[in-house]
Chains A and B, each alone.
Chain A
Amino acid sequence: MSDTSKLGFYLLLAPILLWLVVLIILPHIGLFFVSISEKIGPREYETGFGNYATFFGEPLYWRTFARTAIMSVMATALTLILGFPIAYYIAKLTRGRTKTTLFLMCMIPFWVSELVRTFGWMILLRETGVISTTLQRLGVISGPVELLYNDTAIMVGLVYTSILFMVVPLVTTLDSLDDSLIEAGYDLGGTSTSIMREIVIPHAMPGIVSGCIVVFMLSLGNYLTPILLGGKDSLWFTGMIYTQFITRFNWELGSALGFLLLGLSSAVVFLGLKLSGQSLSETMGRT
Chain B
Amino acid sequence: MPFSTLRGRTLTNAIPDLSCKDLTKDFDAFRAVDHVSFEVPQGSFFSILGPSGCGKTTLLRMIAGFQSASSGDLLIKGKSMIDVPPNKRPVSMVFQHLALFPTMNIGDNVGFGLRQRGVGRADITRRVGEVLERVGLPGVSARRIDQLSGGQKQRVAIARCMVLEPDVLLLDEPLGALDLKLREHMKVELKSLQAAFNTTFVYITHDQSEALVMSDNVAVMNHGRFEQIGAPHEVYHNPGTAFVAGFVGDANRIEAKVAAVNGSMLTLTSHAGTQMSVETGTADLAVGQSAQVFLRPEAIELSRSGEGFDSDQNVSRCTVNSVLFNGANSSVIVRDPQGNSLNAVMPQTGAFADLRPGDEIFTRWHPAKARCYLANEV
> How far, in whole Å, are A188 and B109 apart by their CA atoms in the complex?
10
The interface-forming segment of A30-38, A137-145, A197-205, A229-237 is A197-205
A184-B99, A189-B87 are known; give 4 further A-B pairs, CB within 8 A: A178-B99, A183-B86, A188-B92, A194-B116
Q: Which 9 A-B pairs have the closest CB atoms?
A: A188-B113, A202-B103, A184-B99, A180-B99, A189-B116, A186-B87, A186-B86, A180-B95, A187-B93
User: Cβ of A185 < 8 Å from any Cβ of B?
Assistant: yes
User: Which A residues are within 8 Å of any B CB, using their own CB?
Assistant: 178, 180-181, 183-191, 194, 198-199, 202-203, 205
* Contact, CB under 8 Å: B101 / A181: yes
User: Cβ of B160 < 8 Å from any Cβ of A?
Assistant: yes
User: Cβ of B268 < 8 Å from any Cβ of A?
Assistant: no
Which of B91, B93, B115, B164 is the one whose CB lies under 8 Å from A184? B93
List residues 85-109 of chain B with CB under 8 A from any CB of chain A: 85-88, 91-93, 95-97, 99, 101-104
Shortest beta-carbon distance from A173 to chain B in Å: 12
A190 and B87 contact, Cβ closer than 8 Å, known pairs A180-B96, A184-B93: yes
Contacts of A185 in B (CB 8 A): 101, 112
> How far, in whole Å, are A183 and B97 apart by their CA atoms in the complex?
12
Shortest beta-carbon distance from A209 to chain B in Å: 14
Bitwise interface map of B from 49 to 70 toward A, beta carbon under 8 Å scored 1, else 0: 0000000000000001110000
> How far, in whole Å, are A239 and B64 apart by their CA atoms in the complex?
59
Which of B66, B96, B103, B116 is the one whose CB lies under 8 Å from A188? B116
Bitwise interface map of B from 75 to 88 toward A, beta carbon under 8 Å scored 1, else 0: 00000000001111
Contacts of A190 in B (CB 8 A): 87, 112-113, 116
> How far, in whole Å, are A198 and B88 apart by their CA atoms in the complex?
18
* Contact, CB under 8 Å: B95 / A188: no
* Contact, CB under 8 Å: B64 / A188: no
* Contact, CB under 8 Å: A181 / B112: no
* Contact, CB under 8 Å: A184 / B86: no
* Contact, CB under 8 Å: B103 / A187: no
Bitwise interface map of B from 110 to 121 toward A, beta carbon under 8 Å scored 1, else 0: 001101110000
Contacts of A198 in B (CB 8 A): 101, 104, 112, 115
Which of B97, B112, B164 is the one whose CB lies under 8 Å from A180? B97
Shortest beta-carbon distance from B106 to chain A in Å: 14
Contacts of A191 in B (CB 8 A): 87, 116
> How far, in whole Å, are A188 and B103 apart by their CA atoms in the complex?
16
Contacts of B115 in A (CB 8 A): 194, 198
> How far, in whole Å, are A2 and B75 apart by their CA atoms in the complex?
69
Shortest beta-carbon distance from B308 to chain A in Å: 59
> How far, in whole Å, are A199 and B103 apart by their CA atoms in the complex?
7
Chain B residue total in the interface (Cβ 8 A): 26
Smallest CB gap from A203: residue in B:
B103
Shortest beta-carbon distance from B58 to chain A in Å: 14
> How far, in whole Å, are A205 and B102 apart by their CA atoms in the complex?
13
Smallest CB gap from A187: residue in B:
B93
Contacts of A183 in B (CB 8 A): 64, 66, 86, 93, 95, 99
> How far, in whole Å, are A186 and B101 apart by their CA atoms in the complex?
13
> How far, in whole Å, are A194 and B115 apart by their CA atoms in the complex?
10
Smallest CB gap from A182: residue in B:
B99
Shortest beta-carbon distance from A20 to chain B in Å: 34
Shortest beta-carbon distance from B157 to chain A in Å: 9
Contacts of A186 in B (CB 8 A): 65-66, 85-87
> How far, in whole Å, are A219 and B93 apart by their CA atoms in the complex?
46
> How far, in whole Å, are A186 and B160 apart by their CA atoms in the complex?
13
> How far, in whole Å, are A87 and B254 apart by their CA atoms in the complex?
57
> How far, in whole Å, are A185 and B95 apart by their CA atoms in the complex?
11
Smallest CB gap from A199: residue in B:
B101
Interface CB pairs A-B, < 8 A, 24: A178-B99, A183-B66, A183-B93, A183-B99, A184-B101, A186-B66, A186-B87, A187-B87, A187-B92, A187-B93, A188-B87, A188-B116, A188-B164, A189-B87, A189-B88, A189-B113, A190-B112, A190-B113, A190-B116, A194-B115, A198-B104, A198-B115, A202-B104, A203-B102
Smallest CB gap from A198: residue in B:
B112
> How far, in whole Å, are A236 and B191 apart by their CA atoms in the complex?
69
A184 and B95 contact, Cβ closer than 8 Å, known pairs A189-B116, A189-B164, A190-B112: yes
> How far, in whole Å, are A199 and B95 apart by their CA atoms in the complex?
16
* Contact, CB under 8 Å: A178 / B116: no
Shortest beta-carbon distance from B312 to chain A in Å: 57
Smallest CB gap from B88: residue in A:
A189
Contacts of B65 in A (CB 8 A): 186-187
Contacts of A187 in B (CB 8 A): 64-66, 86-87, 91-93
> How far, in whole Å, are A25 and B4 apart by their CA atoms in the complex?
68
Contacts of A199 in B (CB 8 A): 101, 103
> How far, in whole Å, are A191 and B87 apart by their CA atoms in the complex?
7
